[in-house]
Amino acid sequence: MRSKSPRRRRVLKPNMEKRLSETVPMSKLHEDQAVLYTTIFVGNPPQPLDVQLDTASSDLWTPISGCTNCNTTLIQTQSDHTSSLFNISSSTTFIPTSRGVKIAYGDGTGVGGVVSKDTVSVGDFVVHNQTLIAVESVQGQFDTAGVFGLGWPTLSTSRGNPWWINAIDQFDEPEFGLYLTSPTNVTIAPAGQLTLGGRNESLLDGEPQFVRLLEQSFWAVPLTQVTVTTNSSSATNTASTSSSSATVSLAGDDAVAILDCGSELIYGPTVYVDAVYASIEGAVKNEADGDDDDGWLLPCDTRASLVFSFGTVDVVLPSSLLVQPSPIAQSPATSTSRTSTSATPSTTARRYCSGTLVGDNDASTTNGASPAWILGHAFLKATYTVFRKGTSPS
């Protein structure tokens, strides 16, 4: 659990100069769930709400006191001063409209509510008349008091600008930086930090390398290839040199990836994911249930790492982020070993872990699905990411 202390909030006056950037901490409900959240304040007087951050959507929504089937006992308020819902009757600046909307998410959950407006602040940045959805019904379970979309306006179901677009005139730079803690660095914050209006220079090694944004909807970038490298030394030694490599090239619609802090793993077209694992020594296809999307197992102590190439920019996914932390098998005899040289039953007594790279049969050119690749927490932990708006968004 995390502790919080009340903070003094300033209201931006029309003649006020731009503020500098501000960093707010992020927390995570469970290590194996893609629920990154931070605290926002909604209404007047402001009501603190823990909301999930999502770079793959653009709407801000929160359940309200009149929600008919919202089980607020399932919403984790983390034993702090935050609320599990937004009490609209307590806000003097809440403005409802007559337009109802529904949002459906890829995992089968969804919400329905009324498009509304109110004052919303994050840290010291305040946006008046921010469009939000006052949720009156939900489908499935949500563990936070809403979702805070950080995508582009074209993704918005409410047809309103996402909060960061409305706040950008207050930013020192038209950007926000996202840092997720990795297994080797948990000292920054419980799950990482969100820097609004800039970046945390202390976490950067030199200037960031920007990648061209393909379109202003998702944060979609061109992913040109994935390279498997096998290091000759231990998996935890980042200074080791590569002893072998194999490259999987991508083209067309299959070369599109989105950065999604609302997803835990890395998803790509099954045909390419299978090709990547086929180049990793000791990797085995998990065929226990006869499902092509069951995923892959690989030795927990694998020395393989992946290099994701975005044109001239490379991001290395170390072996520590290629495997999920909990071992699930000892020498899985029911699976088939897939290596670059053979396909034989696995007999070596080793601990096996699930891979963080998962194949998705629906993410393929033939099925017309886009984007092909979803880069979730497992990828974002490997790099500091700056999301920037400008004449050439990146």
Catalytic residue annotation: 54, 260
Count CB neighbours of 143 within 10 A.
14
How many Å apart are CA 17 and CA 174, to the nearest integer? 15
> How far apart (Å, rounded) are the C-alpha atoms in residues 346 and 211?
40
Q: Which of 187, 181, 353, 354 is nearest to 266 (CA)?
A: 354
- Cα-based angle 335, 323, 141 (whole degrees, multiple of 5): 95
Name which of 169, 189, 194 is nearest 179 in CA terms: 194
25, 178 contact by CB (below 8 A): no
Looking only at the bridges linking them, the beta strands covering 60-63 and 125-139 are parallel
Return the half-sphere exposure (C-beta side, CA atoms, 13 A cut-off) of residue 96: 14
> Which of 345, 334, 332 is closest to 298 using CA atoms?
332
Q: Which two tokens stand for residue 108?
A: 């089968």
Q: How far apart are CA 267 and CA 248, in angstroms?
A: 15
Q: How far apart are CA 62 and CA 229, in angstroms?
A: 44
- Using the structure block, give the residue that is written with the tokens 């030795």: 299
Contact by Cβ (8 Å): 138, 70: yes
CA 378 – CA 29 distance, rounded (Å): 16
Cα–Cα nearest to 308, from 386, 200, 211: 211
Q: Please say whether the beta carbons of 171 and 178 come within 8 A.
A: no
- Best CA proximity match to 304, nearest among 355, 228, 356: 228
